[in-house]
Chains A and B, each alone.
Chain A
Protein backbone atom coordinates (compact mmCIF):
# COMPACT_ATOMS: atom_id res chain seq x y z
CA UNK A 1 0.00 0.00 0.00
CA UNK A 2 1.13 3.52 -0.57
CA UNK A 3 2.78 5.06 2.49
CA UNK A 4 5.14 7.40 0.74
CA UNK A 5 3.10 10.46 1.51
CA UNK A 6 3.08 9.62 5.19
CA UNK A 7 6.79 9.04 5.42
CA UNK A 8 7.59 12.64 4.63
CA UNK A 9 5.80 13.68 7.80
CA UNK A 10 7.44 11.22 10.15
CA UNK A 11 10.93 11.65 11.46
CA UNK A 12 13.41 9.13 10.19
CA UNK A 13 14.75 6.46 12.51
CA UNK A 14 18.35 6.80 13.61
CA UNK A 15 20.43 4.88 11.04
CA UNK A 16 23.09 2.32 11.97
CA UNK A 17 25.94 4.76 11.45
CA UNK A 18 24.52 7.40 13.78
CA UNK A 19 26.08 6.00 16.92
CA UNK A 20 29.07 8.26 17.47
CA UNK A 21 28.22 10.82 20.11
CA UNK A 22 30.56 9.93 22.90
CA UNK A 23 31.99 13.38 23.47
CA UNK A 24 33.17 14.03 27.00
CA UNK A 25 34.21 17.22 28.64
CA UNK A 26 36.40 19.61 26.58
CA UNK A 27 35.28 17.89 23.39
CA UNK A 28 37.58 14.87 23.87
CA UNK A 29 36.53 11.21 23.82
CA UNK A 30 35.16 10.06 27.19
CA UNK A 31 37.42 7.03 27.70
CA UNK A 32 36.04 5.93 31.06
CA UNK A 33 32.48 5.52 29.84
CA UNK A 34 32.87 4.46 26.24
CA UNK A 35 36.28 2.83 26.04
CA UNK A 36 39.09 3.65 23.64
CA UNK A 37 37.90 5.42 20.56
CA UNK A 38 37.91 3.54 17.32
CA UNK A 39 36.14 4.12 14.04
CA UNK A 40 34.28 0.85 14.46
CA UNK A 41 32.84 1.96 17.81
CA UNK A 42 31.49 5.13 16.29
CA UNK A 43 29.99 3.54 13.25
CA UNK A 44 28.41 0.38 14.62
CA UNK A 45 26.22 -0.15 17.70
CA UNK A 46 27.97 -2.01 20.52
CA UNK A 47 25.00 -4.08 21.62
CA UNK A 48 22.53 -6.06 19.55
CA UNK A 49 19.61 -4.16 20.98
CA UNK A 50 21.05 -0.66 21.02
CA UNK A 51 19.79 0.41 17.61
CA UNK A 52 16.48 -1.37 17.91
CA UNK A 53 15.76 0.25 21.28
CA UNK A 54 16.74 3.72 20.09
CA UNK A 55 14.28 3.49 17.23
CA UNK A 56 11.60 1.39 18.89
CA UNK A 57 9.04 4.08 19.62
CA UNK A 58 9.51 5.67 16.21
CA UNK A 59 9.11 2.38 14.40
CA UNK A 60 6.02 1.45 16.40
CA UNK A 61 4.46 4.80 15.59
CA UNK A 62 5.27 4.45 11.90
CA UNK A 63 3.70 1.01 11.78
CA UNK A 64 0.59 2.05 13.68
CA UNK A 65 0.05 5.19 11.64
CA UNK A 66 0.45 3.42 8.34
CA UNK A 67 -2.02 0.73 9.47
CA UNK A 68 -4.46 3.42 10.52
CA UNK A 69 -4.09 5.20 7.22
CA UNK A 70 -4.79 2.02 5.33
CA UNK A 71 -7.89 1.25 7.37
CA UNK A 72 -9.48 4.62 8.00
CA UNK A 73 -7.95 6.98 5.48
CA UNK A 74 -5.42 9.81 5.73
CA UNK A 75 -7.42 11.91 8.16
CA UNK A 76 -7.00 9.48 11.06
CA UNK A 77 -3.19 9.61 11.43
CA UNK A 78 -3.14 13.28 10.54
CA UNK A 79 -5.54 14.18 13.33
CA UNK A 80 -3.68 12.02 15.82
CA UNK A 81 -0.34 13.51 14.90
CA UNK A 82 -1.75 16.99 15.21
CA UNK A 83 -2.90 16.17 18.72
CA UNK A 84 0.49 14.68 19.59
CA UNK A 85 2.27 17.75 18.29
CA UNK A 86 0.07 20.01 20.37
CA UNK A 87 0.52 17.90 23.50
CA UNK A 88 4.27 17.73 23.01
CA UNK A 89 4.50 21.48 23.33
CA UNK A 90 3.17 21.40 26.88
CA UNK A 91 6.45 21.02 28.66
CA UNK A 92 9.00 23.00 30.60
CA UNK A 93 12.40 24.13 29.37
CA UNK A 94 14.71 21.24 28.46
CA UNK A 95 16.82 21.24 31.62
CA UNK A 96 13.78 21.06 33.91
CA UNK A 97 11.68 18.05 34.73
CA UNK A 98 8.41 17.92 32.75
CA UNK A 99 5.69 15.39 33.36
CA UNK A 100 4.46 15.00 29.74
CA UNK A 101 1.04 14.24 31.20
CA UNK A 102 -1.01 15.15 28.13
CA UNK A 103 1.30 13.29 25.75
CA UNK A 104 1.32 10.19 27.95
CA UNK A 105 -2.45 10.14 28.21
CA UNK A 106 -2.85 10.45 24.45
CA UNK A 107 -0.36 7.70 23.75
CA UNK A 108 -1.78 5.41 26.42
CA UNK A 109 1.45 5.29 28.42
CA UNK A 110 -0.42 6.17 31.60
CA UNK A 111 -2.09 2.75 31.60
CA UNK A 112 0.96 0.57 31.20
CA UNK A 113 4.27 -0.01 32.93
CA UNK A 114 7.38 -1.02 31.04
CA UNK A 115 11.11 -0.74 31.48
CA UNK A 116 11.00 2.92 30.45
CA UNK A 117 9.20 3.73 33.69
CA UNK A 118 11.47 1.75 35.97
CA UNK A 119 15.00 2.11 34.63
CA UNK A 120 16.89 5.36 34.21
CA UNK A 121 14.18 7.67 35.47
CA UNK A 122 15.12 11.11 34.07
CA UNK A 123 14.07 12.79 37.33
CA UNK A 124 16.82 10.84 39.10
CA UNK A 125 19.48 11.29 36.48
CA UNK A 126 22.94 11.92 37.95
CA UNK A 127 24.06 14.13 35.11
CA UNK A 128 22.70 17.64 34.95
CA UNK A 129 23.10 19.62 31.77
CA UNK A 130 24.19 23.22 31.49
CA UNK A 131 20.93 25.18 30.94
CA UNK A 132 22.18 27.56 28.25
CA UNK A 133 23.72 24.81 26.17
CA UNK A 134 20.60 22.67 26.41
CA UNK A 135 18.43 25.58 25.31
CA UNK A 136 20.74 26.28 22.37
CA UNK A 137 20.61 22.66 21.32
CA UNK A 138 16.85 22.59 21.53
CA UNK A 139 16.48 25.72 19.45
CA UNK A 140 18.93 24.38 16.90
CA UNK A 141 21.48 27.15 17.38
CA UNK A 142 24.31 24.81 18.31
Chain B
Protein backbone atom coordinates (compact mmCIF):
# COMPACT_ATOMS: atom_id res chain seq x y z
CA UNK B 1 0.00 0.00 0.00
CA UNK B 2 1.24 3.55 -0.62
CA UNK B 3 2.96 5.30 2.23
CA UNK B 4 0.75 7.54 4.34
CA UNK B 5 2.03 10.85 5.61
CA UNK B 6 0.15 13.57 7.47
CA UNK B 7 -2.16 15.44 5.11
CA UNK B 8 -2.05 12.69 2.50
CA UNK B 9 -5.06 11.15 0.80
CA UNK B 10 -7.18 8.48 2.48
CA UNK B 11 -6.27 4.96 1.42
CA UNK B 12 -9.09 3.48 -0.65
CA UNK B 13 -9.12 -0.19 -1.55
CA UNK B 14 -11.34 -1.30 -4.38
CA UNK B 15 -12.33 -4.95 -4.31
CA UNK B 16 -10.96 -5.81 -0.87
CA UNK B 17 -9.81 -9.38 -0.52
CA UNK B 18 -10.19 -9.59 3.26
CA UNK B 19 -12.23 -12.46 4.58
CA UNK B 20 -14.35 -12.38 7.70
CA UNK B 21 -16.15 -15.35 9.17
CA UNK B 22 -18.62 -15.53 12.04
CA UNK B 23 -17.81 -18.09 14.72
CA UNK B 24 -19.73 -19.56 17.60
CA UNK B 25 -18.26 -18.05 20.78
CA UNK B 26 -16.52 -20.50 23.07
CA UNK B 27 -17.31 -18.38 26.11
CA UNK B 28 -20.90 -17.07 26.36
CA UNK B 29 -20.99 -13.52 25.07
CA UNK B 30 -23.57 -10.77 25.72
CA UNK B 31 -26.59 -10.64 23.43
CA UNK B 32 -25.36 -7.87 21.17
CA UNK B 33 -21.85 -9.24 20.66
CA UNK B 34 -20.93 -11.20 17.56
CA UNK B 35 -17.60 -12.99 17.34
CA UNK B 36 -15.68 -13.03 14.07
CA UNK B 37 -12.39 -14.37 12.82
CA UNK B 38 -10.93 -11.74 10.54
CA UNK B 39 -7.83 -11.55 8.40
CA UNK B 40 -4.75 -10.42 10.30
CA UNK B 41 -4.30 -7.11 8.48
CA UNK B 42 -7.70 -5.68 9.43
CA UNK B 43 -8.00 -2.99 12.08
CA UNK B 44 -11.01 -2.10 14.22
CA UNK B 45 -11.90 0.76 11.91
CA UNK B 46 -11.56 -1.55 8.90
CA UNK B 47 -13.88 -4.12 10.46
CA UNK B 48 -16.45 -1.47 11.31
CA UNK B 49 -16.44 -0.08 7.79
CA UNK B 50 -16.49 -3.55 6.25
CA UNK B 51 -19.59 -4.59 8.16
CA UNK B 52 -21.36 -1.30 7.70
CA UNK B 53 -20.69 -0.92 4.00
CA UNK B 54 -20.77 -4.50 2.70
CA UNK B 55 -23.23 -6.12 5.09
CA UNK B 56 -25.25 -3.05 6.16
CA UNK B 57 -24.93 -3.96 9.84
CA UNK B 58 -24.82 -1.10 12.37
CA UNK B 59 -21.72 -1.44 14.52
CA UNK B 60 -21.32 0.23 17.88
CA UNK B 61 -17.93 -1.04 18.99
CA UNK B 62 -15.21 -3.45 17.90
CA UNK B 63 -12.52 -5.09 20.01
CA UNK B 64 -9.83 -7.28 18.49
CA UNK B 65 -7.19 -9.66 19.67
CA UNK B 66 -4.73 -11.97 17.96
CA UNK B 67 -4.95 -15.63 18.85
CA UNK B 68 -1.59 -17.38 18.74
CA UNK B 69 -1.73 -20.81 17.10
CA UNK B 70 0.31 -23.42 18.95
CA UNK B 71 3.53 -24.81 17.52
CA UNK B 72 4.04 -27.86 19.70
CA UNK B 73 2.37 -30.60 17.65
CA UNK B 74 4.76 -32.83 15.74
CA UNK B 75 4.31 -34.68 12.46
CA UNK B 76 5.65 -38.12 11.48
CA UNK B 77 9.08 -36.56 10.79
CA UNK B 78 9.14 -35.02 14.28
CA UNK B 79 8.96 -31.54 12.74
CA UNK B 80 6.93 -29.01 14.59
CA UNK B 81 3.58 -28.25 12.93
CA UNK B 82 2.24 -24.79 13.48
CA UNK B 83 -1.45 -24.06 13.80
CA UNK B 84 -2.07 -20.74 12.03
CA UNK B 85 -2.54 -17.53 14.00
CA UNK B 86 -5.77 -15.64 13.55
CA UNK B 87 -7.36 -12.40 14.66
CA UNK B 88 -10.62 -12.49 16.62
CA UNK B 89 -12.98 -9.53 16.59
CA UNK B 90 -15.79 -8.98 19.06
CA UNK B 91 -18.32 -6.71 17.40
CA UNK B 92 -21.09 -5.04 19.37
CA UNK B 93 -24.09 -4.25 17.23
CA UNK B 94 -25.72 -0.86 17.29
CA UNK B 95 -29.40 0.09 17.43
CA UNK B 96 -30.06 -2.48 20.12
CA UNK B 97 -29.83 -5.44 17.76
CA UNK B 98 -29.11 -8.88 19.14
CA UNK B 99 -27.64 -11.98 17.58
CA UNK B 100 -27.63 -15.67 18.44
CA UNK B 101 -25.36 -17.98 16.52
CA UNK B 102 -27.72 -20.36 14.71
CA UNK B 103 -27.56 -24.13 14.59
CA UNK B 104 -26.32 -24.90 11.11
CA UNK B 105 -26.68 -28.68 11.40
CA UNK B 106 -30.22 -29.36 12.49
CA UNK B 107 -31.48 -32.94 12.50
CA UNK B 108 -33.19 -33.56 9.22
CA UNK B 109 -35.55 -36.47 8.63
CA UNK B 110 -33.80 -39.13 6.62
CA UNK B 111 -35.31 -40.39 3.41
CA UNK B 112 -36.02 -44.10 2.86
CA UNK B 113 -32.70 -44.63 1.12
CA UNK B 114 -30.54 -43.42 4.00
CA UNK B 115 -32.70 -45.26 6.52
CA UNK B 116 -32.37 -48.51 4.58
CA UNK B 117 -28.63 -48.00 4.31
CA UNK B 118 -28.31 -47.34 8.04
CA UNK B 119 -30.29 -50.53 8.81
CA UNK B 120 -28.05 -52.51 6.49
CA UNK B 121 -24.97 -51.06 8.17
CA UNK B 122 -26.22 -51.96 11.65
CA UNK B 123 -27.04 -55.54 10.63
CA UNK B 124 -23.60 -55.96 9.06
CA UNK B 125 -21.83 -54.69 12.19
CA UNK B 126 -23.89 -57.10 14.32
CA UNK B 127 -22.92 -60.04 12.14
CA UNK B 128 -19.22 -59.07 12.33
CA UNK B 129 -19.38 -58.88 16.12
CA UNK B 130 -21.08 -62.28 16.26
CA UNK B 131 -18.35 -63.79 14.11
CA UNK B 132 -15.68 -62.31 16.39
CA UNK B 133 -17.31 -63.76 19.49
CA UNK B 134 -17.61 -67.28 18.19
CA UNK B 135 -20.41 -69.81 17.93
CA UNK B 136 -22.61 -70.12 21.04
CA UNK B 137 -23.41 -73.77 20.25
CA UNK B 138 -19.76 -74.64 20.79
CA UNK B 139 -19.48 -72.69 24.03
CA UNK B 140 -18.17 -69.33 22.68
CA UNK B 141 -14.97 -70.90 21.28
CA UNK B 142 -13.70 -68.98 18.24
CA UNK B 143 -13.80 -70.53 14.77
CA UNK B 144 -10.02 -70.86 14.68
CA UNK B 145 -10.23 -74.12 16.53
CA UNK B 146 -11.66 -77.33 15.15
CA UNK B 147 -12.85 -78.20 11.70
Question: Do A and B share a complex?
Answer: no
